[in-house]
Amino acid sequence: MEPALLPPAPAANTVHLPRVAIVSPVYNESENLRELLTRLDEVCTGLPYTFELWLINDGSNEETTALLDALAAQRRDLVVLHLSRNFGHQAALSAGLEEAYRSGVDGALMLDSDLQHPPSLIPELLSQWRAGYDVVYTIRDDQVRTSAFKRITARLFYRLIGWVSETTITPGSADFRLLDRRALEALISLPERGRFLRGLTSWIGFRQVGVHYVPQARFAGGSKYDLKRMYRLGIDGLVSMTTLPLRAILAVGLCISLLSLTYLVYVIGAHFLTNRTIPGWSSVIVAVLLLGGINLTVLGVMGLYMAKIYDEVKGRPLFLVRARVGAHRARASERAR
């Protein structure tokens, strides 16, 4: 599918400048859009890149939709993708990244459209990219502007992810980052549907560097992430990055089996050697303990296989190649094709 891209008008005798897509998901942000464009223009004018703005309308209301259309009619460097309904922040971002990649951009920069991610950081991100990094991510420094609840849940969540999965996500990282075309290609080639971009961009590897910034207050409107959406994002993140919960069942089952076997010795002893037991007690306890332990162990074994199946079904590539160098390069990439 060809994205509806209006290429920026080529100025006379220009050299080829790297094309950068600025991708931003929009959900009912009519009060923020003009300000966003103004600030982006302020920052981007004069930089040696060809910028394209990709605004992804994630099923916004009429007002925002109409404004997006009006803006797209005014500006040649603006692409608007209207999604058919509200698919959520992560899906909207993925849509923008994928279409921008297909249109052939050299790099993609993503940021929220509510101006919490300061456009003034863009030159810094670009210069790290030019310095050779494939993924330039950002780390929120001063979190006084975010609510205490969000700060604490986020911190706990990233600690949990770091503990249970092999992928670590820098605490305070948000969906404000720049990807080189190679990293972008790797990211969108991941076949899974539950997209947790923070985890996936960390998982793909390549050369990564973090840039610190101070988050800004939302320019207008309130957060679109209510508790339900946060919960869904959290579960998506956890389940897509680790199968530990499935594997943990086995450990729990084995522990319970072991403990109940020990207790069984006592129950049988008490049954035969003392007269303190009520008739029927020993047999009930034996049945409950043994079956409980066996149940959990069997579930755990099933969990192991389910975890394997889940990993296989996701079909993530076993490895990703960042670059091919040297004389064998041509042949190797020939074979890879």
134 binds ligand UDP (CB under 6 A): no
Q: Which long-range contacts (CB under 8 A, 24 or more apart) does 36-43 make?
A: 36/113, 36/115, 36/119, 36/219, 37/71, 37/75, 37/78, 39/115, 39/119, 39/120, 40/119, 40/122, 42/119, 43/119, 43/120, 43/122, 43/123
Are residues 176 and 138 in contact, defined by beta-carbon separation less than 8 angstroms? yes
Could you say which of 21, 22, 23, 26 contacts ligand UDP (CB under 6 A)?
A: 26
153 binds ligand UDP (CB under 6 A): no
- Work out what residue 26 binds among Mg ion, ligand UDP, none; the CB cut-off runs from 5 to 8 Å by kind: ligand UDP
223 binds ligand UDP (CB under 6 A): yes
Q: Considering beta carbons, is residue 116 or 260 the nearer one to ligand UDP?
A: 116
- N-terminal to C-terminal alpha carbon distance within the chain: 22
- Work out what residue 172 binds among ligand UDP, Mg ion, none; the CB cut-off runs from 5 to 8 Å by kind: none
Whole-angstrom distance, CA of residue 178 vs CA of residue 64 = 26
Q: Considering beta carbons, is residue 195 or 224 the nearer one to ligand UDP?
A: 224
Strands 19-26 and 107-110: parallel
Q: How many residues bind ligand UDP (CB under 6 A)?
A: 16
> Could you give the angle at the alpha carbon of 230 between the alpha carbons of 228 and 233, nearest 5°?
110
147 binds ligand UDP (CB under 6 A): no
Could you say which of 22, 33, 88, 198 contacts ligand UDP (CB under 6 A)?
A: 88
Site for ligand UDP in 253-292 (CB under 6 A): none
Whole-angstrom distance, CA of residue 122 vs CA of residue 55 = 17
Could you say which of 30, 113, 167, 173 contacts ligand UDP (CB under 6 A)?
A: 113
Instruction: Read off the DSSP letter of residue 9.
Output: P
Are residues 63 and 27 in contact, defined by beta-carbon separation less than 8 angstroms? no
Residues of this chain that bind Mg ion (CB under 5 A): 112, 114, 116
36 binds ligand UDP (CB under 6 A): no
Whole-angstrom distance, CA of residue 298 vs CA of residue 305 = 11
- Work out what residue 27 binds among Mg ion, ligand UDP, none; the CB cut-off runs from 5 to 8 Å by kind: ligand UDP
65 binds ligand UDP (CB under 6 A): no
Could you say which of 19, 25, 178, 242 contacts ligand UDP (CB under 6 A)?
A: 25
Binding site for ligand UDP (CB under 6 A): 25-27, 29, 58, 86, 88-89, 92, 112-114, 116, 223-225
